[in-house]
Structure 1
Amino acid sequence: MAKPIIKVHGISLSTCTARVLLCLHEKGLQYQLVPIDVASGAHKRQPYLSLNPFGLVPAFEDGNVSLFESRAINRYLARKHEDKGTDLLLSKSSTESAIVETWMEVEAHHFNGPIFAINHQRIINPLYGLDPDEEIIKSELEKLENVLDIYEERLSKSEYLGGKSYTLADLNHIPFLVYFMKTPNATAITSRPHVNAWWNKISTRKATIEVEAGMKLHLANFDNEK
């Protein structure tokens, strides 16, 4: 009997869908990307709502396992396939794993909010004929730079955020940074030597290059993902 194929329901240009795809590529796992017609609102009605009741992308199926929330999906994949591909949680050491988890929380609770807001103003607003709100950008950029100052200090002592190895603590940052680095505010990264060196390492990984190829700005819709 053929093994069930992992299914990711979403769109490749979605940052949160891309986050899951990055993990799958790092693990060398086969999967099927099931396109969701976000433009027509397919994610807001059945049958999609049976996979993600919040009507956001992506949703995920692995045999009888059905999940949503990209970071939770990545934890599941990293744990289930610990011995395949890149060790993304450093699970063999409770101490190292705890450090990875700490920086994963930093990404989710400190980094994600401001970079989401800036990308929305710089990228999404113009797609809808709206001017970026420079006051919002200024406020959110200040928050982001405070986070990046902490990253600069951390990365001056550690090659990656979670330690000496690339992990989910790094990977989870990539999709929003792919878009952010195309904006005028990319200097927030490039002006910090250790943060910039970190970005250069993680952005040139084979998995990143493969997934980034499907991320096209002209259809990006950050409002419908999680």
Structure 2
Amino acid sequence: MVLKLYGAHISTCTQRVLFALFEKGVSFEFVPIDLMKGESHTQEVLAKQPFGQVPYIEDDDFTLYESRAIARYIAEKYAGQGTPDLVPTKDVKSRALFEQAASVETSNFDAYAGPAVFEGFFKPMMGMQTSKEKIDELSDNLSKKLDVYDQILSKQKYLTGENITLADLFHVPYGVLLKDAGIDVIETRPNVKRWFNDITSRPSWKRTQEFNHTA
């Protein structure tokens, strides 16, 4: 049975899973859930994803939700194909460095980029009022975090060292929308810009974008 991904094209978290699937070359079936029609809160979906969110996957009799957990599952289950070591497992130190970088993404990037993109990009799309004060505050906080990123990336190619991992890829779905939200914080930091251009130029991300525009 082919892996099934339940999600929405507009969902950044769904895009995070698509990115991992394409990076690992995994065949899958996409099952769209219309968020605007409230389909994520049907009893059928809530039985699989109790928070009423997307995405989630079904892999035979196994169900899993939360995009980062799904991406880790894909990377480890299909370790022998596609890009290797997206979740490093060769020794405890390499795994620890990966978990460190993954935690940095969640705490120091997503915590600010996610709300900023919602405020400056998704709210106008939904006809909601945007708070410039909130955007400015989130942008300022994210800028301070990315100053540290720039220092880290001045010494190494990726967040864990010289090899790309999921910790890098996790940044992309929200990162590409920052400028659309009126927050230009990536281009102004040379090492962050180099790194982000690298990870967004991957064929797997291009396939993710094409999939979202054609499906």
* Same-fold call, TM cutoff 0.5: yes
Of the three residues 20, 28, 33, the one matched with 2:30 is 33
1:43 counterpart residue number: 40
1:23 counterpart residue number: 20
Question: Contact 2:121–2:180 at 8 Å: present in 1 too?
Answer: no
Alignment CA distance shift 1:98-1:15 (3 Å): same
Alignment CA distance shift 1:123-1:214 (3 Å): farther
Per the alignment, in what secondary structure is the counterpart of residue 132 of structure 1?
coil
Task: Quote how far apart the aligned CAs of 1:128 are.
Answer: 2.8
Where does 1:123-134 land on structure 2 (aligned, <5 Å)?
A: 123-134=121-132
- 1:114-157 deviations in whole A, cap 9, x for unaligned? 11111112111212333421110111111111210111011001
Question: Contact 1:96–1:163 at 8 Å: present in 2 too?
Answer: no
Question: Contact 2:40–2:52 at 8 Å: present in 1 too?
Answer: yes
Check if 1:64 corresponds to 2:61. yes
- 1:59-114 deviations in whole A, cap 9, x for unaligned? 11111110000011111111111121112012113211211111101111221121
2:152 counterpart residue number: 154
1:5 counterpart residue number: 2
Task: Quote how far apart the aligned CAs of 1:214 are.
Answer: 4.1
Tell me how far apart the structure 2 counterparts of residues 110 and 124 of structure 1 sit (CA, whole Å): 21
Task: Quote how far apart the aligned CAs of 1:16 are.
Answer: 0.2
Task: Quote how far apart the aligned CAs of 1:55 are.
Answer: 0.2
TM (norm. structure 2) is: 0.94
Structure 1 unaligned segments of length 5 or more: list them: 217-226
Tell me the amino acid that sits aligned with residue 29 of structure 1.
Answer: V
- 1:143-202 deviations in whole A, cap 9, x for unaligned? 11121011101100110012111110101111111212334312x100000000001100
Q: How many aligned residue pairs are there?
A: 212
Q: CA RMSD in A?
A: 1.3
Structure 2 unaligned segments of length 5 or more: list them: none
Question: Contact 1:8–1:58 at 8 Å: present in 2 too?
Answer: yes
Task: Quote how far apart the aligned CAs of 1:51 are.
Answer: 1.1
Runs of at least 4 residues off by over 4 Å: none
1:97 counterpart residue number: 95
Check if 1:202 corresponds to 2:187. no
Question: Contact 1:8–1:34 at 8 Å: present in 2 too?
Answer: yes
Where does 1:73-222 land on structure 2 (aligned, <5 Å)?
A: 73-87=70-84, 88-186=86-184, 188-215=185-212
Task: Quote how far apart the aligned CAs of 1:39 are.
Answer: 1.3
Structure possessing the higher relative contact order (Cα contacts under 8 Å, 6 or more residues apart) = 1
Question: Contact 1:9–1:34 at 8 Å: present in 2 too?
Answer: yes
Per the alignment, in what secondary structure is the counterpart of residue 31 of structure 2?
strand
Question: Contact 1:100–1:163 at 8 Å: present in 2 too?
Answer: no
Question: Contact 2:146–2:192 at 8 Å: present in 1 too?
Answer: yes
